[in-house]
Amino acid sequence: MTASVRRLRRVRTRAIPSYLVVAQSADLDDLRLTLAMLPICAHGRVIVVAEPGEQIAPLALPSRMSVTVRVRRAEQGAAAAALQTVHAWASEMLCDSERDDPSEPRVVAWVAGSDAAFIDELGHLLCEGHGLPGTALRTGAGFGAARA
C-alpha cells in the first residue's frame, strides 16, 4: 500500500464520527430504531441504563459498536447512573474535543427518551462539561433534532 493510499484511508476514517447512544431501558424501542439507522461502518458505544434485576435483550447494531448495560443502584436514579457512565466515557473519548470542527464533529451523541430532565443533564455534561458541539447532540428517535 502506498503512502498516498494510507493517507487517504486515514482522512476517510477521520470523517466518520464515533457514535455515543444513551438510553434508559424504558426507551428500547427508540434505541432499536436509532441503531437500525446507523451506517454499517459506524463505530462507538451504546449505553443502556437498566433497572436492578432487569434483563436487556441483545441489540442489533453495527459490528464496531459496543454495548454497556449500566444497572443503576436501587437508591440511584436513571439519570445519575447515565451521567456517571457517560462522564467516564467522555473523559476518555473527548479529551481533545476543543480542537474539533463544529461542522464535522468527531463524536455524534444521541440521547433517547422523552424525559426532558434526563436529556438536559446529559446534554449539559457533554456540551458544557466535555466540549461536544451542540450540533453533535441529537435527541428523540432516529437522530431527531440537534441541540441548539
Find which of 6-10, 91-95, 139-143 is predicted with most confidence, using mean pLDDT: 91-95
Residue 6 lies in a domain: no
Residue 148 lies in a domain: no
Residue 133 lies in a domain: yes
Whole-number Å distance between alpha carbons of 93 and 78: 22
- The pLDDT score that the predictor gives to residue 45 is 95
Strand-pairing partners, residue 121, are none
Task: Please give the average per-residue pLDDT across 23-52, as a whole number.
Answer: 90
Helices 78-93 + 116-124 axis angle, to 10? 20
Residue 62 lies in a domain: yes
- The pLDDT score that the predictor gives to residue 47 is 93
104 to 13, 18, 66, 84, 129: CA distances (angstroms): 13, 11, 23, 26, 19
Query: Do 43 and 62 contact (CB within 8 A), yes or no?
Result: yes
Residue 100 lies in a domain: yes
Tell me which residue of 111, 44, 39 sits closest to 78, measured CA to CA. Answer: 111
Tell me which residue of 20, 25, 24 sits closest to 35, measured CA to CA. Answer: 20
**pLDDT digits 0-9 by tens, 75-126:** 777 778 888 898 888 888 877 655 556 566 678 888 887 777 888 888 888 8
- The pLDDT score that the predictor gives to residue 145 is 46
Residue 9 lies in a domain: no
Residue 19 — very low, low, confident or very high, per pLDDT cuts 50/70/90? very high
What's the grid cell of residue 59? 441489540
CATH of the domain at 134: 3.40.50.80
Whole-number Å distance between alpha carbons of 69 and 58: 11
Residue 3 lies in a domain: no
Percent of the chain with pLDDT over 70: 76
pTM: 0.78
Whole-number Å distance between alpha carbons of 112 and 99: 27
- Based on the structure, what is the number of domains in the chain? 1
What is the extent of the structural domain holding 52?
16-139
Residue 146 lies in a domain: no
